[in-house]
Structure 1
Amino acid sequence: MANYIMDLREMVGRRPLVMAGAGVIVRNKEGELLLQLRSDTKDWGLPGGALELGESLEGTARRELFEETGLHAERFSFLRICSGPEFYAQYPNGDEVYNVISVYEANGISGEFSMTDGESLDLRYFPLDDLPELNHITRKMLTDLLIP
């Protein structure tokens, strides 16, 4: 989590925060979706994370994609903003957030998988008709975009 969020947590404790961030859709040549097995919640979701102070949302997508997967993208296509009560999350440590997530599709992918930030337990591509159990936020982000 960004230092900004940790600084806020010192002031407000575990109370709900509004957290802006980005989620990144990456597909391989076969159209399969890249998912990350998260180390904190032990569930599958899209790469992504919180906006840092002074950062653009596309910059967040670029940074989080690299930090969590080791991949680079030539360009990002903005797809949608996700917000509302269905994007509430309580983390295992008790922290609560209401997410405002900009969803981007990454194009022109290069690089090799790398999980050095401690946030990923596994990275895999899945066919859209055979996705693993997704965390509720990822499922909501993908509804109407990729998953009927």
Structure 2
Amino acid sequence: MAYIKDLRKLVGAMPLILNSAGAIIRNHEGHLLLEYRNDTNDWGIPGGYMEPGETFEETIRRELIEELSITVTSLNFLNIYSGKDYFHEYPNGDKVYSIMAMFEATIHHDIKTDHKEIGRVNYFSFDYLPKDLTLTTQKILSGIFR
């Protein structure tokens, strides 16, 4: 995250193009793991931004350890999401166009949230997803689970 903070010192809130990785994680009932983000006050797919020199796979593995203390046992690449539909403006005014690699992940299920970025996590049935999903999460899930 220091990389993005350093960039923001140079460019302010102007739109940045940033790489990120996310993970579709399901429990044994097929329910989807979502995390409630403290910075945006909404639910989203676990993941985060790439640090310099990382691969997409390394990014999602690191983010899941940092945010949820979980270890990935397997990753299956799903898709890349990018373009104007994946623009996001954070509450502080920072603007981002994301290039996201999405994976399906199998994990060890001992989840402990960091409580800095993530307030809580929960598994949701696809029929009963929370109403306050991030727009990015809505778009990704509608493409994967139509």
Q: Which TM-score applies when normalising by structure 1?
A: 0.94
2:130 to 116, 132, 136: 132
- Asked if the contact 1:44–1:132 (Cα under 8 Å) also holds between the matched residues in 2, the reply is yes
Distance, in Å, in 1 between the alignment partners of 2:128 and 2:46 is 18
- Matched AA of 2:9: E
Say whether residues 1:102 and 2:101 are aligned partners. yes
- Structure 1 regions of 5+ residues with no counterpart? none
SS where residue 41 of structure 2 aligns? coil
| Equivalent residue number for residue 112 of structure 1 | 110
| Equivalent residue number for residue 122 of structure 1 | 120
User: For residues 96-116 of structure 1, what are the alpha-carbon distances to aligned partners after superposition, in whole Å with 9 as ceiling and x for unaligned?
Assistant: 000100001102x21422112
- Structure 2 regions of 5+ residues with no counterpart? none
| Equivalent residue number for residue 58 of structure 2 | 59
Distance, in Å, in 2 between the alignment partners of 1:104 and 1:10 is 31
Tell me which stretches of 4 or more aligned residues in structure 1 moved more than 2 Å.
none
Distance, in Å, in 2 between the alignment partners of 1:63 and 1:5 is 16
- Matched AA of 1:38: R
TM-superposed CA distance for 1:144, in Å, is 2.2
- Asked if the contact 1:70–1:111 (Cα under 8 Å) also holds between the matched residues in 2, the reply is no
Report the identity percentage: 44
Q: Which TM-score applies when normalising by structure 2?
A: 0.95
Say whether residues 1:5 and 2:4 are aligned partners. yes
Q: How much is the aligned-residue C-alpha RMSD, in angstroms?
A: 1.0
Distance, in Å, in 2 between the alignment partners of 1:72 and 1:111 is 8
